[in-house]
Chain A
Amino acid sequence: MLAIVLALLTVGSCSGSGDGLIVTDARIGMPTGPNAALYLTVENHSATPDALEGADTTVANSIEIHETIAGDDGTMAMRLVEAPMEVSAEETLVFQPGGFHLMLVDVDRLDVGEEVEVTLTWQNAGEITFKAVVVEPQDVGEDQSHDG
Chain B
Amino acid sequence: MEPDVPIIRRALLLILAGSLALAGCGGGAGSTEDLQGVVIDPPQPKPEFTLTDTAGNPYDFVAETEGKLTLLYFGYLNCPDICPVHLAQIAETFDRIPEVARDAEVVFVSVDPERDSSEEIRAFLDNFDERFVGLTGTLEELETAQTAAGVPVAVFVGDGEDYTVNHAAQVFAFAPDGMNHSVYPFGTRQSQWNNDLQVLADLGG
Chain A residues proximal to chain B, CB less than 8 Å: 29-37, 66, 68, 70-71, 73-80, 97-98, 101, 103-104, 136-138, 140-141, 144-148
B55, CB-defined interface residue at 8 Å: no
A71 contacts B77, CB within 8 Å?
no
C-alpha gap A140/B120 in the complex (Å): 23
Shortest Cβ gap from A91 to chain B (Å): 22
A33-B80, A78-B81, A148-B190 known; A138+B169 contact, CB < 8 A: no
A138 contacts B190, CB within 8 Å?
yes
Chain B residues proximal to chain A, CB less than 8 Å: 77-85, 87-89, 91-92, 120, 124, 127-128, 151-152, 154-155, 157-158, 162, 164-170, 183, 185-192, 194-195
A148 contacts B194, CB within 8 Å?
yes
Chain A to chain B: the 3 pairs with minimum beta-carbon distance, closest first: A148-B191, A137-B88, A77-B166
Which residue from chain A places its CB closest to the CB of B151 in the assembled complex? A74
Measured between beta carbons, the chain B residues less than 8 angstroms from A70 are: 169, 186
Shortest Cβ gap from B109 to chain A (Å): 14
Shortest Cβ gap from B138 to chain A (Å): 21
Q: Which residue of B82, B120, B183, B185 has the most chain A CB atoms within 10 A of its CB atom?
A: B82
A98 contacts B186, CB within 8 Å?
yes
7 pairs of residues in contact across A and B, judged by CB atoms under 8 Å:
A30-B127, A33-B80, A36-B80, A75-B152, A76-B166, A97-B187, A148-B189
- Extra A-B contacts (11), CB below 8 Å, given A76-B167, A76-B169: A29-B80, A30-B127, A32-B84, A32-B127, A75-B169, A77-B157, A77-B166, A79-B157, A80-B164, A141-B85, A144-B187
Shortest Cβ gap from A79 to chain B (Å): 7
Which residue from chain B places its CB closest to the CB of A148 in the assembled complex? B191
Shortest Cβ gap from B95 to chain A (Å): 11
Measured between beta carbons, the chain B residues less than 8 angstroms from A73 are: 152, 168
Measured between beta carbons, the chain A residues less than 8 angstroms from B183 are: 74
C-alpha gap A141/B127 in the complex (Å): 19
A37 contacts B80, CB within 8 Å?
yes
A71-B166, A75-B167, A147-B191 known; A34+B185 contact, CB < 8 A: no
Shortest Cβ gap from B183 to chain A (Å): 8
Instruction: From A76, A101, A136, A137, give the contact of B186 (CB < 8 A).
Output: A76
Shortest Cβ gap from B71 to chain A (Å): 15
Which residue from chain A places its CB closest to the CB of B169 in the assembled complex? A76
Measured between beta carbons, the chain B residues less than 8 angstroms from A136 are: 88, 92
B85 contacts A68, CB within 8 Å?
no
Shortest Cβ gap from B195 to chain A (Å): 7
Instruction: From A103, A146, A148, give the contact of B80 (CB < 8 A).
Output: A103
B78 contacts A33, CB within 8 Å?
yes
Q: Which residue of B89, B124, B155, B170 has the most chain A CB atoms within 10 A of its CB atom?
A: B89
Measured between beta carbons, the chain A residues less than 8 angstroms from B78 are: 33-35
